[in-house]
Copies of this chain bind each other. A is one copy, B any other.
Amino acid sequence: MTRHGTVVSLLTDFGLRDPYVGIMKGAILRRFPGANVVDLCHDVPAFDIEIGARFWAAARNHFPVGTVHVGVVDPGVGSARELLVVRAHECLWVAPDNGLVDEVVRSASDVAVRTVDLAGLGLAANSTTFHGRDIIGPLGAMLAAGTCSFESVGPGRGYEPREVDPSPRVLFADGFGNLITSVEAAEVDGVSVFDLEGHTVRRVATYADAERGQPAALVNSYGLLEFAVREGNAAEHLALGRGARVRWEQNS
C-alpha cells in the first residue's frame, strides 16, 4: 500500500547551517517521492537526548494519525547501538536505542516496540557517520510508503524508559528565553506562588496577564510549568537556565 502524502517528520541535532538535513530529505524522497517531509526541529542541542525526547513528546497528538516521526540525535552513531521503531500515539517513531523515545513511551497508554533488522530490510550504511541519510531516513521513507510495515521491521521487544531526575527543575530555555521546567500541570494544580532559585514568582493564566518586565509562572503549551517575562527574556532577566530548582508549597 502506497500512502501518498504520508507525513515524515524530522527531529535532529544537525542544525540548518550545513546541508545534512537537506540531503537527508533528498534520501527520503528518493525512496518515497510521495512523502510529505516536515521539519519538527533541527536545533536539539548537540547530542542532547533528554531535550530531544521532550520535543518529541511535545509533538505527540498534534501531527496527523499515521505520521512517521524520524529522530536522529545520536552520539553513538557508528557504534553497535540498535535502531528502534515505536508505535505509540497512533504514529510511528524511528530512532536509535538511546532514550530518544523515552518521553513518547512514558506518555503513551499503548506502546509496541520493535528492533530494526537492518540486514533483513536491505539497509546498510554507505558511511559510518551519516545514518540519517543512509539508514534512519530511508527506513522512515519505507514505513511511510508502506513498503515496510511496523510488524516487518524486526522482532518485537520490551522497552523501559530510563529513570529521570524527579526533582522539579528547569529543563531548558527556549528561543524566547522562557524557562521550561520538568513540572507537569497536574503537579501544581492550584499552586499560585513558586520559588525559582530564591526568586518568588507568581502564577498567571497567560502571558497577557503578566506584568511587563516581571517574571511570571504559567502552564505552557507543552503542559509544563514555565517561567516567562512578558515580551522579555526570562533566562537573561533571571540569569538562570538548565537545572535551576523549582519549589512550592502545596495548597491545602
Contact = CB atoms under 8 A, between A and B. Distances in A.
Interface of A: 5, 7, 9, 11, 14-23, 25-27, 29-30, 33-34, 36-43, 46-47, 55, 58-59, 62-65, 67, 75-79, 126-130, 133-134, 174-176, 205-209, 218-221, 223, 230-231
A47 to B, nearest CB: 5
Contact of A58 (B23, B40, B65): B23
A132 to B, nearest CB: 9
A240 B26 CA distance: 31
Nearest to A40: B22
A55 B19 contact: yes
B47 A231 contact: yes
25 contacts: A5-B33, A9-B22, A14-B175, A15-B176, A16-B16, A16-B43, A19-B41, A22-B59, A26-B62, A27-B63, A29-B36, A30-B63, A62-B133, A75-B207, A77-B208, A78-B207, A79-B206, A79-B208, A126-B221, A127-B220, A128-B206, A129-B206, A129-B207, A129-B218, A129-B221
A126 B222 CA distance: 10
B64 A43 contact: no
Contacts of A21: 39
A25 B10 CA distance: 12
A65 B14 CA distance: 25
Contacts of A23: 40, 58-59, 62
